[in-house]
Structure 1
């Protein structure tokens, strides 16, 4: 199992390096999904990784779309952390997923 995780992690790094030419949001989603699949044990971790990766990629864009994604990410992080605290889940994980989702929403609404 550890060998498979290491192989997936190395593969993720290779894929993320080769996807620099494509859109940063899509590249982040691919890299995040691969890392989520490698470190987690469920589809939920893969989807969560994709959301966080895509949101992070969107926030690294320059211009108005990147600025909107960063603002959305900041609001999403606060909302995600608050929701996680209320439900008794990991606040850090809630903030990360909230920031990813907020970044995507910020980019999409701009």
Structure 2
């Protein structure tokens, strides 16, 4: 597992140089997936990290797409936190994943 973490960390550093040319949403997804993989050690955390990272990247965009992503992220955070509270899961994790998902939906529907 230690070698897997080292490999992911090195891969992230190598990819981070190429993410400068990527769209903010894609760059956030790559960074979030790498962080989720290292922190959580499973596929679920990798996917969750990618969603949160992509949503964060979308929210940092300028113009109408960024504004739509920020609005979607706010709504998604509330919905995600509420759903997590009802199901007995972590409210913070639900809010983070909800915000990421909402931001991506807000950006895509704009």
TM-score, normalised by the number of residues in structure 2:
0.91
- RMSD of Structure 2 on Structure 1 (CA): 1.4
Offset of residue 18 of structure 1: 2.8
SS of the residue corresponding to residue 57 of structure 2 reads helix
1:17 and 1:39 mapped to 2: Cα distance? 21
Aligned position for 2:40: 40
For structure 1, the residue ranges without an aligned partner over 5 or more in a row are none
Aligned position for 2:97: 97
Residue-pair matches, total: 110
Aligned position for 2:21: 21
Aligned position for 1:53: 53
Deviations 1:59-105 (A, max 9, x none): 00000000000000000000000100111100000000000000000
For structure 2, the residue ranges without an aligned partner over 5 or more in a row are none
